[in-house]
Amino acid sequence: MNVPFLIAWRYFRSKKKRNIISIISNISMIGVAVGTMALIIVLSVFNGLEDLVRSLYGKSDPDLKITAVQGKSFPVDAFLVGRLRSVPGVQLVTEVIEDNALLRYHERQMVVKVKGVSENYYQQSEIDSAIVDGTHQLRRNGEDFALIGAGVQHELSIALENRFAPLLLLYPRNTPGKKTLSINPETAFNQEPILAGGVFSIEQHVDDSYIFVPLGFAQRLLRYDNRRTALEVKVGPKRPLADVQAELKQVLGPGYAVLDSDEQHVSLLKAIKVEKMFVFITFAFILLIASLNIFFSLSMLVIDKRKDVAVLMAMGATPNIIRRVFLMEGAIVAQVGAVVGLSLGVGICWLQQRFGLVSMGMATSVVDSYPVKMQASDVLWVGVAIVFITIAVSIRPALNAPQIDLRENL
């Protein structure tokens, strides 16, 4: 029989009159409940944002991306591609050339990211499902077409398949022995015209800056010849992605980086995780401040129950048992509030996932309502924080509880 717990539970349930101790204890429970609820909701929102970022970039990101460790390009030949395709689990290898270029349309212009891809690109990318106008095909009837982002189209007011005014892409021409550009645009830049064949909408950063073109067009414009900025690999379902990634690293050696989806956007995902960590710390401090009422209620309870303590000690209770009584009392108050807050937080997150109660408030947003995702690890960390806070605010009153004069209180 756990005597300290039974006594603490009796103290918790026997507050029939609305004295100041009862009021402070109730305020403590409400504060812990609200803090726990807010912490669960905020952490779930950050989880939802992280998943949203992955889903948005997943439409255009490969399973694995091979880049050079030093420099922005590396030579690619049939032998290298063949070695990659021979790795078990590799289903497809796409050659990519990507660089900045100047896009000019009528009298307007802007700097864009030109991404040249080989013909098998759409066999591994889901970008064709993000087409909002035109078609995703980059080459039709022997003619090259560009697939432009919705933000690029809006910025330059581009009309699709306008043969009277095609897109004009310009890239600085590298002249051996010269480090400066000529003031004559005709000699300073490589120029290639191309028709806009389709418009995609994935994510604002991509929509506002990217243009997809055939690999041959990018070779002519950027003068990359047999060099590529990346090789994108599609992994089959029969072998784990991590195993294929590890084997590709062994095949290619230290001069190449093999990146999975998260590593391709490591800065963005890391920023979300860092923000989530700081929000957790901030709300944990707020929860600690809200839990200070437990300290005051326990301190007053120790004074109010000093005769009970004297009787218990006269009956043979040790100081350790007395301390445990009041530690249990603080734990009960905190845990009841935590369970209520956790239930409310999980319930609100479930309602948001199911019905989208809180909308983004923007007609152009990629989702209608705030994304949320509950994780068991968040509940675990919140529980750990509450246990630490309970001990921190309860230990001082509990230590003072046995320090009474028996002769005065018996």
- Is 223 in the same domain as 328? no
Q: Is the pLDDT of residue 274 over 80?
A: yes
Structure tokens at 288: 């600690």
Domains in the chain, number: 2
Residue 409, in any domain of the structure: no
Which pLDDT tens digit goes with each residue over 107-137? 899 999 999 999 999 888 878 888 999 998 9
**Which tokens sit at 290?**
């809200």
Q: Are residues 52 and 67 in the same domain?
A: no
Which has the higher per-residue pLDDT, 350 or 363? 350
> Quick one: pLDDT band at residue 177, thresholds 50, 70, 90?
very low
- Do the strands 64-68 and 210-214 form a parallel or antiparallel pair, or are they unpaired? unpaired
Residue 16 predicted with pLDDT over 70:
no
Residue whose tokens read 């996932």: 353
Residues 197 and 291 in one domain: no
Q: What's the pLDDT at 405?
A: 54
Same domain, 54 and 67: no
Poorest-confidence range of 66-80, 109-123, 242-256, 257-271? Answer: 257-271
Tell me whether residue 408 is in a domain.
Answer: no
Q: Given 231, 260, 289, which residue is the final one in a domain?
A: 260
Give the whole-angstrom CA distance, residue 44 versus residue 26: 27
User: In terms of domains, do 194 and 294 share one?
Assistant: no
- Residue 410: inside a domain: no
Pair 375, 303 in one domain: yes
Query: Is residue 365 assigned to a domain?
Result: yes
Q: Both 100 and 51 in a single domain? A: no
pTM (predicted TM-score):
0.76
Tell me the mean pLDDT in the region 163-182: 73
Instruction: Name the pLDDT band for 323 (thresholds 50, 70, 90).
Output: confident
pLDDT at 210: 94
* Residue 60, pLDDT score: 73
Q: What is the pLDDT of residues 277-311, one digit of tens each?
A: 999 999 888 888 888 888 888 888 888 888 888 88
Instruction: Kindly state whether residues 272 and 199 are assigned to the same domain.
Output: no
State yes or no: pLDDT of 229 exceeds 80: yes
Task: Report whether pLDDT(350) > 90.
Answer: yes
What does the pLDDT read at residue 197?
Answer: 94
pLDDT at 404: 61
Same domain, 105 and 9: no
Q: Are residues 308 and 379 in the same domain?
A: yes
In order, the DSSP letters of 141-189 are: TTEEEEEEEHHHHHHHTPPTT-TTS-EEEEEE---TT--S--S-HHHHE
407 found inside a domain: no
Residue 408 has pLDDT above 60, yes or no: no
What would the DSSP string read from start to end of 87-144? STTEEEEEEEEEEEEEEEETTEEEEEEEEEE-TTGGGT--GGGGEEEE---SEETTEE
- Least confidently predicted of 212-226, 253-267, 389-403: 389-403
Under DSSP, is residue 235 helix (H, G, I), strand (E, B) or coil?
Answer: strand
End-of-domain residue from the set 226, 242, 260: 260
Residues 383 and 316 in one domain: yes
Q: How confident is the model at residue 366 (pLDDT cuts 50, 70, 90)?
A: low
Reported confidence tier of residue 369, pLDDT bands at 50, 70, 90: confident
pLDDT averaged over every residue in the chain? 86
Tens of pLDDT, residue by residue over 186-209, are 667 889 999 999 999 887 888 999
Asked whether residue 247 is domain-assigned, the answer is yes
Residues 256 and 306 in one domain: no
**What is the rounded average pLDDT of the residues 377-397?**
88
Residue 69 lies in a domain: yes
Percent of all residues in the chain with a pLDDT value above 90, rounded to a whole number: 45
| The pair of three-digit structure tokens given for residue 56, joined into one six-digit string | 């948005």
Higher pLDDT, 252 or 173: 252
Whether the per-residue pLDDT at 179 is higher than 90: the answer is: no
Q: Which of 230, 260, 290 is the last residue of a domain?
A: 260
Q: Which domain holds residue 392?
A: 3-58+268-401
